[in-house]
Structure 1
Amino acid sequence: MHWHDEIETELQQMKRELKRSTNWNLDHSSDPNIEGLENVLKKLNHLTGLQGVKNEVNTLINFLKIQQLRQKKGLNVMSLTLHSVFCGSPGTGKTTVARMMGEIYRELGILSKGHLVETDRSGLVAGYLGQTAIKVDRLVESALDGVLFIDEAYALAPEGSGNDFGQEAIDTLLKRMEDYRDRLVVIVAGYSNEMSRFINTNPGLQSRFNKYFYFEDYQPEELVSIFEGICQQNDFKLLKESRKHLLAKFSELYIHRDDKFGNGRLVRNIFDQVIEKQANRLVKLPRVDRDKMMVILAEDIPD
């Protein structure tokens, strides 16, 4: 074989490897399940707030559809990455949307299962040398053909940690993401600033995680809507005056929020407090009927 033949062979091999690495999730995809996809999108659109995230998800879906169509028509497809970074405070729906992303990839025919495996540093990092890689491998295996969701992922690379087993978890995860590039989607989540620092600590993370979704804090009116949704699910009614008091409370909490603002979790905690106050009020009444048990009064809203 002449030297120019050897070069041509190497170039063809490089092209095959590049195509396989950039389009792994389209090579094995099947036809989209349009009805199933629409059902997932309905659930996504029914979530309170998150308009920016909803727009980004719809844009990604449209992009993937067109890439699949281009591939069927024999056209070149664009490089794409499904591994994502979810940035936002606790209680903003990151886990819920991550679960829906798995369902979306399943309905698009990109992932065969689309299930969600949720973990954090404690699920990935062991206390002894060599054990961390084993924990990561087990989690990755359980998430194959679905989504691995790592909450507070920045804890894997704490600031000023020096030698830390978290680095072993990162290195093992990056290796497995390459090994199973056509069977695994990884979503890492946490506070925006912390996640930016985390991704920038490692060139491997930067190359694999370049798609960001930003989950904004819920506005006071949105917090009230979430509260009303919980009421509806549990057979409670929020009166007009009660709603006014609740909106004032959420507005005050929103104005003075910090990076630990609980968003949806905060709403759930306040709902629990409201129901407790309502119970204390009801037990003092001589007679309690069905309507009284359902109604939330202004005095039931905690100060």
Structure 2
Amino acid sequence: MRILVAHPWSDPNASWDIAVEHLPGWDVRVCRGDDILANLNGVDVLVPMPNAVTAEIIEAGSFGLIQQYGVGLERVDVEAATANGVWVARLPAGLTGNADSVAEMAVAQILMAIRRMDESRAAVATGWWQPISASLLGSTVAIVGLGAIGTAVAQRLAGFGCRMIAVRAHPEAGAPPSVDRVAGPDELYDVLGQADVVICSAMASAATRHLFDAAAFAACKPGAIFVNVARGVMVDDPALLAALDSGRISLAGLDVFQQEPVGPDHPFARHPRVIATPHIGGLTHSMLAKSSELFGANVARWSRGQEPLWAVNSPQHPRQIPPR
């Protein structure tokens, strides 16, 4: 059986051994994200990583499973996959440790911003001393998206003495005890107006594309800190740039971007009010180890003729994989 991985970790030389250590005997190929079509021969399972899987790719291949090595499937044409008999599955962030790793990154971004870490480091280098910063103690934090990642963020912020408000699609689902209030999407702007720190940890979808646009940033409390550890598509880039330049947003911590990888000429790459990291929130040794186990088990399950776990579709006539 053959797996095709589309450019893991944005590094063509990266080893994929950890991902398939639970699939002995499987043939694993790696290709660039823009070269998937040319590498589909004999492929049974496609791992898209951050790359697009279009209807053209799906129709050109004979693979029966698109198995993401993580959560994100926003660039996979699930409708075309379903119509062509292809299963599409993800690995839940709450089971792989991805949510915990991303939550740590969110807290790190917040602390770096609120404690003015870049300025403080520069102060030591230039002889300036004792720059004054803010504190999470007594501040209000808005967590937009209270799924596995948002919940993990709330749990980690519980000891910092801040007030937390959450916005989630289904507020009736509740929140951890540390969250003071849970609001629905229709109350987003009201919540943004109260927050000293805003964290985007929501699931990317057509409904949440550019959730943070000019109107959302205008609704933010002046001088608020904005952190995005969800997906870059959630943010209207020109609107965030304008908010940063006007001071409406004092600092932004960004681990995700609309186009990745971000080049040195990207406006966020060297912006003095942006703490940019290369989508590494979930990339920890513990996450990779657990993901490898779940990935291998789910692919093996599908290869035995069983429905894959954590599928987002249910094709009526699944593709039959020819014997090798």
Question: What is the TM-score normalised by the length of structure 2?
Answer: 0.30
The structure that is helix-richer by fraction is: 1
Question: What is the TM-score normalised by the length of structure 1?
Answer: 0.32
- The structure number with the bigger radius of gyration is 1
